[in-house]
Chains A and B, each alone.
Chain A
Amino acid sequence: MSSIGEFALNDRGLAKELAEKYGYHVYMVERYLKLFGKEETIKLLEANEKSLNPVIRCNTLRIDVESLRKRLVEKGLVLEKVPWINYAFQVIKSPFSPGSTTEYLLGYYYVHRGMGSLLPVCVLDPKPGEIIIDAAAAPGGKTSQIAQLMKNKGVILAVDINRERMKSLRSNLSRLGVGNVIAYRMDARDLPKLGIKADKILLDAPCTGEGLIPIDKSRKKSRLIEDIKYCSTLQFSMLASLLKCLKKGGVLVYSTCSIAPEENELVVHRILEKYPLSVERINLKDGLPGFTEFFGYKVRDEICEARRFYPHIHGTEGFFICRLRLEEELDDKI
């Protein structure tokens, strides 16, 4: 990474001014200015001030989309279809919390905090009968989305290390009638010890959550530059371990809710350098290409096939998604 010292003095002044105005750490705004330029940075900071509409994902294991829509509209909810998914709605207006209706308690839907969190599973494209690992699974939003696309057939190994969040995972999966999960509370990096080879793996990795500022404003100040480095190292080690659990030709979807390239493109670049993987084109209309150059770094060109999402462009949380395919099965001991 090039040092922030290369930054022009007038840019540093602008970063300080914007950081003060919007309540960020200066280093974050300096990085945004380097990545996006002045105009885009201001648009991003402005968009981060607004809240995102919650999203209702219809649980098609229990009810069809139209029946759910009708029932919720009758109760006074104003819904708008999510552009790229035909089983989810943005909640534009609601007379009560969308997580407190009878329909919610009956397991007819799951409430996501923004549209972005629905994307990784769409990119994973789970099919009935497959063996799928969800490597950072709690509280179960993505696991249950995978289960509904698998029609509750096949196996999902849902893994998370956090005890409290595992309780939420169990509760959510029960409420939604998900029955094809085997859940382990463990460090995902120990998964190769189980000796299971999966068709597909989802790693929605632990991250600094820089993309979640529209949902959680405290993140403007709660992370330091060291946290990006820490997360990047953790993400790489998780990814490297999980590849050992993938069949030859299997797919791994790597995603984060961070917009920092060190947690995204750089992690993918390092993994491509070490393992026999290819980056696959993502079949989504929206999303910007992954960076191939940032902060003086040059990463592999194929990483442009990854997709980036931003609040000021796509109306989502800040998000990064990359779809990787394993060309040769790895030895568990590598």
Chain B
Amino acid sequence: MIKFRKATAREVSKIREALCEWAGRDIYREITSGKVMVVGEGKIKEVFLVPVEVYGILNRTKGKRMPYYLGLFFGEINEEFKISLEGLWLISRYCKGRGIIVSEKGEQLFLYGRDILEEAIIEVGSFVKLGNKVIVFNKFYEPLGLGVMVKRSDKRTGKPKVIVKNILDRGWYLRKGK
């Protein structure tokens, strides 16, 4: 059974650092305004962003029954904090410089769980570096998921090419989320 509790100061600090790295500044307060960071401890530790009113219900029902889940799933936390798809949705507007924009074809393939090839990249954010995690946006700046930008030699020409390896994409909702 998953036990829900308020995130510890150490966990909050890890989350805060991760968000700061994405946005280039401290956005923790803006993201969590009117909300409480709650950790669900089961096989993995999941982080939920929970409105104060919902947190109040959690407290009132403690000892009677643990919920199945609550609020918005924000990510997983262990050694490091791994942001979820909806966490990414919330922070993406602060992190355009850490993202790439992909073409429509690239968008489709990425949502099928595939990597993004150099030809599908339309624009690269000013803070994107090789080896870093990047947010993958479509042409409307809607966050499709998360990737890591790497260089790999082209199978045909042998020349090095940039690709964005798929870490997480919203196609998950069709593949696994039903």
Contacts and interface: CB of A to CB of B under 8 A. Distances in A.
A195 B54 contact: no
Contact of A183 (B68, B107, B178): B68
A105 B171 contact: yes
Contacts of B174: 99-100, 105
Secondary structure at chain A's binding surface: helix, strand, loop or mixed? mixed
Contact of B61 (A105, A168, A183, A196): A196
Nearest to A181: B70
A172 B172 CA distance: 12
A180 interface: yes
A284 interface: no
A: contact size bracket: 20 to 34
Contacts of B30: none
A179 interface: yes
B63 to A, nearest CB: 11
Contact of A194 (B61, B89, B178): B61
Contacts of A178: 72
A155 interface: yes
B58 A182 contact: yes
Nearest to B48: A179
Nearest to B51: A180
Interface of A: 99-100, 102, 105-107, 131, 152-155, 157, 166, 168, 170-172, 174-175, 177-186, 193-196
23 contacts: A102-B142, A102-B144, A106-B142, A106-B170, A152-B51, A154-B53, A155-B51, A171-B177, A171-B178, A172-B177, A174-B72, A174-B84, A174-B177, A175-B173, A179-B72, A180-B53, A181-B71, A182-B54, A182-B70, A182-B71, A184-B67, A186-B65, A194-B60
Give me the 8 closest cross-chain CB pairs, A-B, nearest first: A171-B177, A179-B72, A105-B170, A182-B70, A185-B68, A183-B68, A175-B173, A194-B61
Given A102-B144, A174-B86, 20 more contacts: A102-B107, A102-B142, A105-B171, A105-B173, A105-B174, A106-B142, A155-B56, A171-B173, A174-B84, A174-B177, A175-B173, A179-B50, A179-B72, A182-B58, A182-B70, A183-B67, A193-B65, A194-B64, A196-B57, A196-B61
